[in-house]
Structure 1
Amino acid sequence: MGRPGLWWIVLLQLVDGILGWGKEGHYATCKIAEGYLTKDAIAAVKEFLPASAEGDLAAVCSWADQIRFHYHWSSGLHFADTPDFKCNYQYCRDCHDSHSLQNRCVTGAIFNYTMQLTSASKNSNLVSNYNLTEALMFLSHFIGDVHQPLHVGFLGDLGGNTINVHWYRRKANLHHIWDTMIIDSALKTFYGEDLAIMIEAIQSNITEDWSNQQQLWEYCENNRTVCPNMYASESISLACKFAYRNATPGSTLGDDYFLSRLPIVEKRIAQGGVRLAATLNRIFDSQTRISEA
């Protein structure tokens, strides 16, 4: 049902692209989410995943980055730009693309794909209206994206993409540092370059250090299915407090920056995973489907 054809499988295997957390960050987000899915959500996710995923949501969580070379229209859905130094997010003001087309940003995309999955799960007559495989993969990816602080960064520097600095001895832009390089450095420094160990550490933090916050992360006001505007507001606040601070053009970011920002990155991955699971659980809740039917 809604599964892409052979061209998609080939492209997924051959095309490598990084946008958002990067492959490791998106994989971690979705792997964490898998641990919090209900039985109903697990069944639905497995039904809609492409056969190549072999039932593993995390395996396709970077698909939206890879497919952007084919789906050019999707590139602007990975982020939302905010006015410089405002340090807040407003949907009506900020959710548009470079041509001022409204609702085309990461939060708008999350609303759209949540609506598609929810509509189809509540009304079987609507299943054929949407590609639910793509909707699931886009939603899973974009919930990860909106938790990366610089995916809701300043318009003037394109979310840190035009701020060139040094990450230790390597030249990099600030956005790329938050996408991949903080995670890469953490894998090398603390986790023996083993992503599974890093994921286990984040999961342990959710259970132990952040257990009193987990329900707050899952909460969505007014009984909504998903709350991306709240996630975006958190991200721009963190971007101002942590990502942009002490990261002036030409500066060198080393241990002080890395060690103080890594906890932010790991917590955002944790929040993204918990919230992705909570969203999918609400979408595919069997009792809700029965009552609404």
Structure 2
Amino acid sequence: MHSRSLLSPLARAALLLALLLATAPAMAWGRLGHRLVAQLAWDGMTPAARAAALDLLQDEPDPSLAGVANWADELRANDPGLGRRSASWHYVNLAEDGCHYDVARDCPRGNCVVAAIEAQAAILADPARPREDRVKALKFVVHFVGDVHQPLHAGFAHDKGGNTVQVNLDGRGSNLHALWDSGLLEQAGRDEAQWLEHLRGLPLRQGAGLGPSDWAEASCRIVRSPGFYPGRAKIDEEYGLQWSATASRQLRLGGEHLARVLNGALGG
């Protein structure tokens, strides 16, 4: 568990409040979190997988995993048609069913994050597919593996992954999903480089046999943990201090698992 920020309690609370109020419609981890997962994945990729990824990304404005990590969330503005078609690929609702993934029940027609990771990884791994399809698949995989490690992307359907759970700090409102997307990360007072240093210091956690459905079930179990849902709408910085280690661990796992997917798909 990381140490408390050097910011004063008042300053930390004010920073968290600002982030809660500024958060747009919820997207897993926000821009910072997705970039962190991508950079952690790069650390664990083989030279062959890195070379293949760079080749696919060479025409991107920022030809790096971190540079495309938020592409899938930006589709709603940049490519509304694809954004609508892929909207359900960012999450899977498991919490009502005890966090057990059942493909027929939870992922009809492949429209959930578990199936999306599997499908896009298969496209990425197929050299016979058009280059454009493989580039899109790489960008989807980078994003969706991050998504599945944000606990509320495998949570309850009835509250839309915490989006309808209102939280209140110092008289101003937001929602639980927004808090997990960005608020917990920003509360720590770290910039991107400091976050990377912190996360790289955490141990690798899980075995090689696990896949997207296991990651979703693990995220769901966090959602169902005691205290994850605040007991009242009015919260303070203590909630963030309590759950920051969990958020850090999920980011670390996201990077580890993304590296594994990309190594497998790109010949690593």
- Work out whether the TM-score is over 0.5: yes
1:235 to partner: Cα distance = 0.6
Question: Which residue of structure 1 aligns with residue 235 of structure 2?
Answer: 253
1:130 to partner: Cα distance = 5.9
Residue correspondence of structure 1 range 213-292 to structure 2 within 5 A: 213=205, 216-217=206-207, 219-220=208-209, 227-241=211-225, 244-248=228-232, 251-285=233-267
**1:80 matches 2:92:** yes
Conserved in 2, the CA contact under 8 Å of 1:165 and 1:247?
no
| Secondary structure, aligned partner of 1:246 | coil
2:123 to 106, 116, 123: 116
1:17 to partner: Cα distance = 7.3
Question: Which residue of structure 1 aligns with residue 68 of structure 2?
Answer: 60
Q: Given the superposition, is the C-alpha separation of residues 41 and 53 from structure 1 closer, same or farther in structure 2, using an over 3 Å criterion?
A: farther
Q: TM-score when scaled to structure 2? A: 0.83
**Distance in 2 between residues matched to 1:142 and 1:42, nearest whole Å:** 19
Q: Which moved more, 1:80-89 or 1:34-43?
A: 80-89
**Distance in 2 between residues matched to 1:169 and 1:184, nearest whole Å:** 20
Question: Which residue of structure 2 aligns with residue 8 of structure 1?
Answer: none
Q: RMSD value over aligned CA atoms?
A: 2.1
**Distance in 1 between residues matched to 2:165 and 2:106, nearest whole Å:** 21
**Distance in 1 between residues matched to 2:215 and 2:158, nearest whole Å:** 21
Q: How many residues align?
A: 241
Q: Which moved more, 1:56-65 or 1:82-91?
A: 82-91
Could you list the structure 1 runs, at least 4 aligned residues long, displaced by more than 6 angstroms after superposition.
none
Question: Which residue of structure 1 aligns with residue 167 of structure 2?
Answer: 165
2:47 to 39, 50, 62: 39
Conserved in 2, the CA contact under 8 Å of 1:27 and 1:62?
yes
Q: Which moved more, 1:272-281 or 1:236-245?
A: 236-245
Question: Which residue of structure 1 aligns with residue 12 of structure 2?
Answer: none
Residue correspondence of structure 1 range 134-149 to structure 2 within 5 A: 134-149=136-151
Q: Given the superposition, is the C-alpha separation of residues 172 and 53 from structure 1 closer, same or farther in structure 2, using an over 3 Å criterion?
A: same
Mark the runs of 5 or more structure 1 residues left unpaired by the alignment.
Answer: 1-15, 97-101, 121-125, 222-226, 287-293
Conserved in 2, the CA contact under 8 Å of 1:114 and 1:139?
yes
2:57 to 49, 61, 65: 49
**Distance in 2 between residues matched to 1:242 and 1:136, nearest whole Å:** 36
**Distance in 2 between residues matched to 1:161 and 1:51, nearest whole Å:** 35
**Which one-letter code corresponds to 1:117 in the other structure?**
L
Residue correspondence of structure 1 range 94-113 to structure 2 within 5 A: 94-96=106-108, 102-113=109-120
| Secondary structure, aligned partner of 1:41 | helix
Conserved in 2, the CA contact under 8 Å of 1:149 and 1:243?
no
Q: Deviations over 1:19-50 (max 9, x none)?
A: 11110000000011111110110011001115
Residue correspondence of structure 1 range 191-210 to structure 2 within 5 A: 191=190, 194-205=191-202, 210=203
Identity of aligned residues (%): 29
Mark the runs of 5 or more structure 2 residues left unpaired by the alignment.
Answer: 1-23
**Distance in 2 between residues matched to 1:245 and 1:237, nearest whole Å:** 12
Q: Given the superposition, is the C-alpha separation of residues 116 and 168 from structure 1 closer, same or farther in structure 2, using an over 3 Å criterion?
A: farther
Whose relative contact order is higher, 1 or 2, with alpha carbons under 8 Å and at least 6 apart?
2
| Secondary structure, aligned partner of 2:244 | helix
Conserved in 2, the CA contact under 8 Å of 1:34 and 1:277?
yes
